A and B are shown apart, each in its own frame.
Chain A
Amino acid sequence: MRYAMAIDTRKCVGCSDCVVACQTENNVPVGFCRDWVVEVVDGTYPNVSIELRTERCNHCDNSPCVRCCPTGASHFEDGGIVLVDHDKCIGCGACIQACPYDARYSHPDGYVDKCTFCIHRVREGKNPACVSVCPTSCMNFGDLDDPNSKIVNVLKNRKFKSLAPEAGTKPQIFYLV
């Protein structure tokens, strides 16, 4: 089992609903976020294009955050989901420095927090909150090891990229372009 996301940048309108849904689902304090939207503008008027994409923890296979965590708070769960055990986290911030995606933040309660792929929902067979709310349905979540899953299907049929491939982290968020 290998959980991953494939996000269709052709459909994303950058509305940030994923961000609000994550906040209300996971009690993310106001002013912080576990996911966010990026707009990249390319070209000069009138030959301009933009890419909108929602970003979060990439739940990397080769995770610098898990490797550098001195207490073992950052760890892998089933399906390769990277989690932080808040009780073990001492808030040292090494993982924040190590993450090439800037996906982690210091929670005001003293630990490091980030996207969990909504593991509590996934274990109930539901999609992460961000995926389930997206008005454009641009986000596909699923198991890369399941050949019948939609995510495997879209990754087979569409061009895609991942972010910061040069970091060698083997990220599990893919962007359909």
Chain B
Amino acid sequence: KKLSGGLKSAPILKKVSTYCEVCFWKCAGWAHVTTEGQIQKITGNADDPQCNGRLCPRGTGGVGMFSDPDRLKTPLIRITKNGEQTYREASWEEAFDFIAKKMKEIAEKDGPESMALFNHGSSGKYFTQLLNAYGSNNVTAPSFAQCRGPRDTGFELTFGESVSSPEVTDIRDTRCLVLIGSHIGENMHNGQVQEMSEAIDKGATIITVDPRLSTAASKSKYWLPIKPSTDLALLLSWIHVLIYNDLYNKEYVAKYAEGFNELKEHVRSFTPEWAYGITTIKPEVIRNTAREMANAAPATIIHPGRHTSWYGDDVQRSRAIAILNALLGSWGNRGGIFFKEGIKVPDFPHPAYPKPSWSWQDTLNGRYPLAKESITNTIIEASIPAEGNTHPIKGWIVSGTNLIVSIPLKEQLMKAMQSLELLVVVDTMPMEITGYADVVLPECTYLERYDDLRATPHREPTLVLRMPAVEPMYESKPAWWIAKQIGERLGLGAYFNFTDFKEVIDWQLKQLGLSLEEMERIGVKKYARKTPAYILPDSDHKFKTASGKIQLFSKELEEAGFDSMPKFTAHAQPEEGFYRLIYGRAPMHTFSRTANNRNLVALMPENAVWVNPQVAELWGLKKDQYVWLKNQDGVVSNFSVKVRVTERIRWDSVYIVHGFGHHHKPLTYAFGRGVNDTELITDVAIDPIMGGTGMRGNFVTFLKDEPKKEAKL
């Protein structure tokens, strides 16, 4: 009997190992390929501790990246036709010759250091190798200054190391999880979501600080709907309560930390009553939540968050979070923060890289002294010819990052791009950034290529294989091939001494005593840990700071001319009729890259602006009505956005999900749906410590009628 259940496609022929490239979590999975050579579905690899066989909606829907009809199909070269800029299809040969010629010119005229790379994701590595071989280490990514940089810097200053990515938070075994500016469950960082669910099962206390009732807040024992921009006051007050109510872990602090007396003196006046007036969080709630943290300690995590560039004092806020974790004894204890361990994959042999005569540090001109990674914005700034610009950048390669919707300070970005002698964009999709390129190179998706082994250190050391499930569609090619081809044309072929990247993986696996055949079969190789995940009792544990101790008081910050301990600074508040623009994630989308993915858009085709019912009433806004948003500098959103009237948000703020409002027509589905937060972020507070671009200091108001602005789209 014929049943309605079951597959109607051709039967599954094989399962091919991959790891996901929709977000940075890189969950291991299997692409199920049918006898007709189609990818039917992608499922998680049960042996992968990052996903435990369960991909998130974006990973499950990753096949939509492969099957997207709008994919880049051939190389494109910019031409002028009838006075207008447009693109023509080109062969790979032509595109490479064009790029190699320009890169040679730049190297001769300005030096190879004048080429920069903006990258995100697995493909960045090959272009990094290309630039390193060419003679530049001006390699940068928005993931630092626009995202996790403040957090990493704050934690490095305190503990001597960052919390890594994926984060080394031991949520699975925590008894108290504090989320402040982190919405796990809406940010679908798979392992963390799974562990939070496990923690809920085990009865852990969750405390969520958010101006919005996030999904996580709705699952929390305490929701602290804080007045935005005042988080540091709450954190300082928690530190005050832990110290002055004798709730901190004395043994741990005495053994592993230094600067406690200075900290105690510093927070003396930061009482819950003081914080109440700033944060709107009641003193007894501050005390009760501090007590909950202490009761569960050291199995308590004050989550470091991820997108932490908010107000320009973000390293200091992250420092306060780190200090709280230190006072509770979380770092190095079960249910707190564990020590990571990974497998070191040997480098495929290549000649030594030439030493560049200057690098991104030289573009700082004394600013941002504690930036350990390169800052996108200073590279962008260095790309604008100006007097005093002694280290000019002349060409960019952009790989896997849509700078137009990820970088604030649009004017600077536009000016820089107009000044470039060469802009090469490598992507799978015609993102906004491809519209500014001299040459566009179509990369194949992660499902159509080999890539580096995934060997990210975490709780359990693992290796994961990504191999092609199907041949690349259209003319698209893997990034390793693209980098190698450009390299060869620049006389750098020795740095890419392989015909197929498969050879590199095969060689690496052999060095590790494995074989490609075995990895193809298992996908994930798990190893037993060789080092403890937590501080052993009675061990003389040394932290990775200069003194080996946790820095409650930071000499390093003091010497660089910054506050040695975090202070609260009042930030600008919205004027009447304006609301703070807060933005975040939805679980079915990633960055701005999934808004055109047909497998995901049905779940959320556009974003909506969250408005408190009292605000809606004041403005006469109705559910599902479309409005334009205008910010404090008069910038109006390109498109209108649906109103969502909800009790889940404060009345001084509005919220939108990031990644919508695409204005590039070749994204045929995503075009014109929703609004893009970055176009409304024109007031950017830069963190003087490491150059993070604080983006939460922008305010918007509603335009109910079609704004009469010139449509340039």
State the A residues within 8 Å of B (CB): 10-11, 13-17, 19-21, 23-27, 30-31, 33, 41, 43-46, 48-50, 52, 77, 83-87, 111, 113, 116-120, 132-138
Contact = CB atoms under 8 A, between A and B. Distances in A.
A30 B602 contact: yes
Contact of A52 (B61, B215, B647): B215
Interface of B: 1-9, 40-44, 51, 53-57, 60-61, 63, 185-186, 188, 190, 193-194, 196-198, 200-201, 213, 215-216, 218-219, 223, 225, 587-588, 598-600, 602-604, 612-613, 646-651
A142 B41 CA distance: 24
Contacts of B51: 135
Contacts of A49: 218
Given A13-B216, A137-B198, 15 more contacts: A11-B201, A14-B215, A20-B599, A44-B613, A44-B647, A45-B612, A116-B5, A120-B5, A120-B6, A133-B60, A134-B54, A135-B54, A135-B188, A136-B193, A136-B196
A44 B614 CA distance: 10
B647 to A, nearest CB: 5
A41 B598 contact: no
Contacts of A117: 5
Contacts of A111: 4
Contacts of B648: 41, 45, 48, 50
Contacts of A77: 3
User: Which of A13, A44, A132 has the most CB atoms of chain B within a 10 A radius of its CB?
Assistant: A13
A111 B8 CA distance: 14
A120 B11 CA distance: 13
Contact of A24 (B63, B190, B196, B588): B63
Nearest to B190: A135
Contacts of A116: 3-6
B2 A25 contact: no
Contacts of A118: 5
Contacts of A11: 197, 200-201, 219
Given A20-B599, A27-B8, A137 B647 contact: no
19 contacts: A17-B54, A19-B57, A20-B600, A24-B41, A24-B61, A25-B41, A30-B602, A31-B602, A41-B646, A45-B648, A50-B215, A52-B218, A77-B3, A85-B2, A86-B4, A132-B54, A133-B60, A135-B188, A137-B198
Given A45-B650, A134-B54, A13 B43 contact: no
A134 to B, nearest CB: 6
Nearest to A24: B41
A137 B197 contact: yes
B225 A13 contact: no
Nearest to B2: A87
A48 B43 CA distance: 36
Contact of A83 (B3, B188, B198): B3
Given A11-B200, A21-B60, A45-B225, A30 B3 contact: no
Q: Which 4 A-B pairs have the closest CB atoms?
A: A13-B185, A116-B5, A15-B587, A120-B6
Contacts of A46: 223, 225
A39 B371 CA distance: 42
A45 B2 contact: no
A165 B612 CA distance: 33
B70 to A, nearest CB: 14
Nearest to A33: B602
Contacts of B600: 20
User: Which of A10, A44, A135 has the most CB atoms of chain B within a 10 A radius of its CB?
Assistant: A135
User: Which of B1, B216, B598 has the most CB atoms of chain A within a 10 A radius of its CB?
Assistant: B1
User: Which of A19, A30, A52 has the most CB atoms of chain B within a 10 A radius of its CB?
Assistant: A19
A90 B61 CA distance: 32
B221 to A, nearest CB: 12
A25 B6 CA distance: 8
Contact of A120 (B7, B40, B42): B7
Contacts of A138: 197
A15 B8 contact: no
A87 B1 CA distance: 10
User: Which of B44, B51, B60, B198 has the most CB atoms of chain A within a 10 A radius of its CB?
Assistant: B60
A135 B602 contact: no
A26 B185 contact: no
A111 B3 CA distance: 13
B4 A17 contact: no
Nearest to B41: A24
Contacts of B613: 44-45
Contacts of A26: 5-7
B218 A50 contact: yes
A86 B60 contact: no
Contacts of A84: 4
B603 A119 contact: no
Contacts of B193: 13, 15, 135-136
Contact of B55 (A25, A33, A87, A133): A133
Contacts of B218: 48-50, 52
Contact of B599 (A25, A30, A120, A133): A30
A83 B602 CA distance: 25
A113 B4 contact: yes
A152 B460 CA distance: 33
Contacts of B587: 13-17
User: Which of A46, A83, A120 has the most CB atoms of chain B within a 10 A radius of its CB?
Assistant: A46
B57 A17 contact: yes
B647 A83 contact: no
Contacts of B60: 17, 20-21, 24, 133
Contacts of B7: 25-27, 120
A148 to B, nearest CB: 20
B595 to A, nearest CB: 15
Given A10-B219, A19-B603, A30-B598, A45 B651 contact: yes
A120 B40 CA distance: 16
User: Which of B5, B8, B42, B186 has the most CB atoms of chain A within a 10 A radius of its CB?
Assistant: B5
Given A14-B215, A87-B2, A135-B54, A24 B225 contact: no
A47 B650 CA distance: 11
A116 B4 CA distance: 7
A21 B40 CA distance: 11
Contacts of A15: 56-57, 185, 188, 193, 587-588
A27 B215 contact: no
B56 A17 contact: yes
B6 A133 contact: no
B602 A136 contact: no
B2 A86 contact: yes
A30 B223 CA distance: 37
A133 B4 CA distance: 21
Contacts of B216: 13
Contacts of B56: 15, 17, 135
Contacts of A43: 647
